[in-house]
Amino acid sequence: MNKNLNFLGSEIKETSPDDALFHVIPAAMEKSVSYGTGTSMGPAALIAASQQLEVYDGYSCPSDEGIYTHPFIDCRGSAEETVKIISSAVSSAVNSGKIPVTLGGEHTVTYGCVQGLKSVYDDFGVIQYDAHADLRDTYEGSGYSHACVMRRIFEMNVPFCQIGIRSISPAEVNFRNENRIIHHDAKDLYAKNDFNIILPADFPRNIYITVDVDGLDPSVIPGTGTPEPGGLFWYDFFKTVESVSAGRKIIGFDVVEFAPIENFHTAEFTGARLIYNMMGIVQRNRRAV
């Protein structure tokens, strides 16, 4: 897989970091996957698939804001070292007034992203799309496991809202209830068939969105290590994103846990389209706020 491609490079000229709003940060971290493997190949596959996108997303042209693709993050060190490198890249982008778009890699990537944001923003919240709660204190002996990422974010005193959860341990249920963590599980969203999510009035105005692709139904994006039936469908997902971002400012997002399937382009193209559509929401969000 060619790692030298730029996101949507087939359609737009290479943009300098200073001139681009969107800074795509590929972070192919894969150290704690516990079922299917392949997330380390996710960023390259998504960037390669983006070469087939059109610049018009159906509503606007997010590429007009400029897209810069950061060199691949060095993920050869320990989990702790890799998280620090990701944090530095994200904070650098944010300090320059840019929108970090981080491509994983396993969900632990998000821990680094939130650390980077925390060094810049005093107040922001995280919107988590996921099939799993990721609230375990440790998993398979590690606190840096992908299954622990939201527990680490909780410990950073960053508020968050979970959307699409449908696989959760009893201990995580108790932890979520005891700490009054905001959640809109997939079964509840489909029971009422309402995807307009209203966040509490005191939820931070600045929001960061983390999208574990298994938050969507595997019929939409089958390329992931732990596919879980009963997830969000394409248009339902974007309805929720539009609703949680209304009146708020999106300060960045990531797309993680994508694992390409050999000779099956649907998964990676859909993932690339999701990323670009998210850029479109950010673009229109900035104009509205």
pLDDT classification of 31: cutoffs 50, 70, 90:
low
The tens digit of pLDDT for each residue in 262-281 reads 888 999 999 999 999 999 99
pLDDT tens sequence across 117-165:
999 999 999 999 999 999 999 776 777 788 899 999 999 999 999 999 9
In a domain, 243, yes or no: yes
The answer as to whether 4 is a domain residue is no
CATH number, domain containing residue 118: 3.40.800.10
User: Domain range spanning residue 171?
Assistant: 22-288
How many alpha carbons fall within 13 Å on the CB side of residue 140? 9
pLDDT, average across residues 46-66: 97
Would 62 be classed as within a structural domain?
A: yes
What pTM does this model have? Answer: 0.95
Note the pLDDT of residue 1. 44
Secondary element (H or E) of residue 25: strand 22-27
Measure the CA–CA gap between 201 and 206, rounded to whole angstroms: 13
Q: At what angle do helices 265-288 and 234-245 cross, to 10 degrees?
A: 20
Let me know if residue 72 belongs to a domain.
yes
Asked whether residue 231 is assigned to any structural domain, the reply reads: yes
Residue 225 has what pLDDT? 81
Among all chains, which residue has been given the structure tokens 């068939």? 193
Q: Is residue 283 part of a domain?
A: yes
Token pair for residue 206?
């600045």
Q: Quote the mean pLDDT of the chain.
A: 93
Residue 3 has pLDDT above 60, yes or no: no
pLDDT-above-90 percentage for the chain: 81
How does pLDDT run across 73-130, given as a tens digit for each residue?
A: 999 999 999 999 999 999 999 999 999 999 998 889 999 999 999 999 999 999 999 9
Amino acid symbol at 108:
T
Peptide bond into 105 cis (omega under 30): yes
Residue 1 belongs to a domain: no
What is the pLDDT, as a whole number, of residue 15?
83
Residue 269 lies in a domain: yes
pLDDT digits (tens, 9 = 90+) for 152-199: 999 999 999 999 999 999 999 999 999 999 999 999 999 999 999 999
The pLDDT confidence band at residue 201, using thresholds 50, 70 and 90, is: very high
Question: Is a pLDDT exceeding 90 seen at residue 33?
Answer: no
Domain count, the chain: 1
* Residue showing tokens 């997303």: 57
